[in-house]
Structure 1
Amino acid sequence: MPTHPDTGLTRLYSDHHGWLYAWLRRRMGCSHNAADLAQDTYVRLLNSGRFPSQDQARPYLLQIAKGLVIDRHRRRLIEQAYLDALASQPETLAPSPEETALVVEVLVRIDSALARLKPVVRETFLLSRFEGLTYREIALRLDIAVATVRKYMLMAIQSCMSAVTDSECA
């Protein structure tokens, strides 16, 4: 992979931007979102410092763009769930748009942190926090020891706290 951003990125952009934008526009059905994500794809590429060879450019750009499409979709689902939860609250408790944006960002980071956990660790956390099961009930359901449930909960909580702490530092 070429490493010089001036030549590598400029050539990738001029050779493939139109194709990538068209693919994103077909996929998303919106020229504005497609333009944003095409730009974000090249920003991510630039930030990585890794530029594919010309024969690998389209698959590489497509991989980045698909990840961004998925990230945007997940973010919108999380944001909508948060807004739905807010709708059931009294209007006097409604956060400002800035506070809403910050909360959604933290929720996206927590979601991402949970997604990186092993499935059994994530399931343990979700059973405890969202289904209200006790550690003993979780252990029985997952056929693991209560001590393992404790360990998994600690791992999940540390991961969530790290996501929150990282968002405060950003």
Structure 2
Amino acid sequence: MLKPVSVKQQASHKLIERLLAEHDMAIRRFIRIKTGGNQDCDDVMQDLYVRLSQIDDLPARMADRLDTARSYLVQIANHLLIDRARREISRCRDLHSSIETIENEPASAIHEPERSLMNKRKLQLIDKALMRLKPEHRKAFLLHRVEGLSYRQISDQLAVSVSTIEKYISAALVAIRSELARSEMPQAGWKP
């Protein structure tokens, strides 16, 4: 059963809506600059709304700060972007270790027919995901994972920034994770 909304909560939600409407363009511009694109704007704006709605008695806290509201909202958006980046790095680390698990399995395990078939299927799915990637994403991923090049070496070779290489490899890892999850294969000991 839904709880009735209190007068304070109504006032808080009205203030949030007013602040976000007033500073929407500036916050979205900040997010686009920080992320290098428009893909995360709506999600971050929604997260910002949720974060603001979790602050107890927001109108009272903001009463003396309305002149600095934009700075406050941008600061919260920045923290949300940092949290998102940390989560993405964590996801990428998990996928890196999962791929290494397949690559480094002992020879005795590889000869088990079921496991061998399962690993072959996983590698086919990874290959399928890589073939769907943009060529530069695929090349960066393969240079790092197969050739063992560092991000710096890859950025020099592809003539882009290290940050761009991180994004390429992250996109490749996300695509692989999605392909493995989509396959709905038994996950015995495998974390996509």
**Bigger Cα Rg:** 2
Task: Calculate the TM-score normalised by the size of structure 1.
Answer: 0.50
TM-score relative to the length of structure 2: 0.44
